Chain A
């Protein structure tokens, strides 16, 4: 089955710890994205990558980091510098950066 897999579905971390969210796709898509969703709000872009070994900051990149060493993988690290990390994180991919995006099931991160 082709798709986007995010893991874990729920993640709890203590304040001050870095945490890495996984995103894997087997759709052979070039472009991948990370969005953040807060209650009652739309989606805000954190980082995106058009091709392997290249990525750009989105609208709210501060306190986050990414890597794109393989086409199918785009992990997101939430660092201790992110002031308010508790949120629902969504990974997406698209064939190119000009086509519609397909989303994973999301990871709900809670920092206590």
Chain B
């Protein structure tokens, strides 16, 4: 079946550090890929997406590239801020499938 595996957290970094959160997937068909962010006590917000191989999604300084050859969609940011502290979810949706499949989430804490 379809599945998403994220790097285990929690991840703790200092402000202005470089961030990578790894995400790999298994899909029965051709997936679209997403990163969502969840701030404490809130719902999920779509951070970025990519719908085909080699697409790069970007938003608010975050980037992720759809790598079909390695079945990966790693999230990166060059210089993190305290306000980036949240839980990040990688997700996929296979064309024609009814649901989003989520990874388990990675909790990120940025210290000043």
CA distance A106 to B93 in the complex (A): 21
B-contacting 9-mer, from A14-22, A42-50, A65-73, A75-83: A42-50
CA distance A103 to B4 in the complex (A): 19
The one of B42, B89, B96 in contact with A106, judged by C-beta atoms closer than 8 angstroms, is B42
Identify the closest chain B residue to A10 (Cβ): B41
A-contacting 9-mer, from B13-21, B63-71, B75-83, B99-107: B99-107
CA distance A105 to B44 in the complex (A): 7
| B43-A98 in contact (CB<8A) | no
Instruction: Chain B residues near A63: list those with CB within 8 A.
Output: none
- A:85-109 near B, CB below 8 Å: 90, 92, 97-98, 100-106, 108
| B89-A100 in contact (CB<8A) | no
Instruction: Chain A residues near B102: list those with CB within 8 A.
Output: 42-43
Instruction: Chain A residues near B97: list those with CB within 8 A.
Output: 97
| B34-A100 in contact (CB<8A) | yes
The one of A42, A45, A90, A100 in contact with B99, judged by C-beta atoms closer than 8 angstroms, is A45
- Nearest-neighbour CB distance to chain B for A11, whole angstroms, equals 14
| B43-A42 in contact (CB<8A) | no
A53: Cβ under 8 A from any B Cβ: no
| B99-A58 in contact (CB<8A) | yes
| A-B contacts, 15 listed (Cβ < 8 Å) | A6-B43, A33-B99, A40-B104, A41-B105, A42-B89, A42-B105, A43-B44, A45-B99, A48-B98, A56-B98, A92-B100, A103-B45, A104-B43, A105-B42, A106-B41
